Amino acid sequence: MPTKKINKTEEILDKIFQNFELEVSKKLYEAIILLKPKDINKWSQLLYQSISQYDLRQSLVTKRRQLASKFSWSEAAQKTIEVFEKTLR
């Protein structure tokens, strides 16, 4: 993947985690894959790799569980309310 895309992805993830006031290891960023919703080729490649490459799948599962442990439903709901309130002001 070109460096420019990696930097853009990191920039997007940094903003998301800052908004949620979470400290997330950059290593866990590898568990997050950003794709354009209508990019059918990328989605199909990702799905194929996830199904066919056991080591990749296990690595993603492990990292995503670590990432998910940083979130709670109540905190996510509270942050969502805060974003809505800021937007409505």
40-85, pLDDT tens digit by residue? 999 999 899 989 999 989 988 998 898 888 778 888 888 888 888 8
d(CA 45, CA 43): 5
pLDDT per residue over 18-43, tens digit each? 776 667 777 777 778 888 889 999 99
**Which range of residues forms the domain containing residue 31?**
3-88
Does residue 16 register a pLDDT over 80? no
d(CA 62, CA 68): 10
Residue 73: CB atoms within 10 Å: 7
Return the SS3 of 20. coil
Confidence of residue 4 (pLDDT cuts 50, 70, 90): low
Which residue bears the tokens 């990432």?
67
pTM: 0.56
The length of the chain, given as a count of residues: 89
Which residue bears the tokens 């790799």?
49
- Model pLDDT, residue 1: 45
- How many separate domains does the chain show? 1
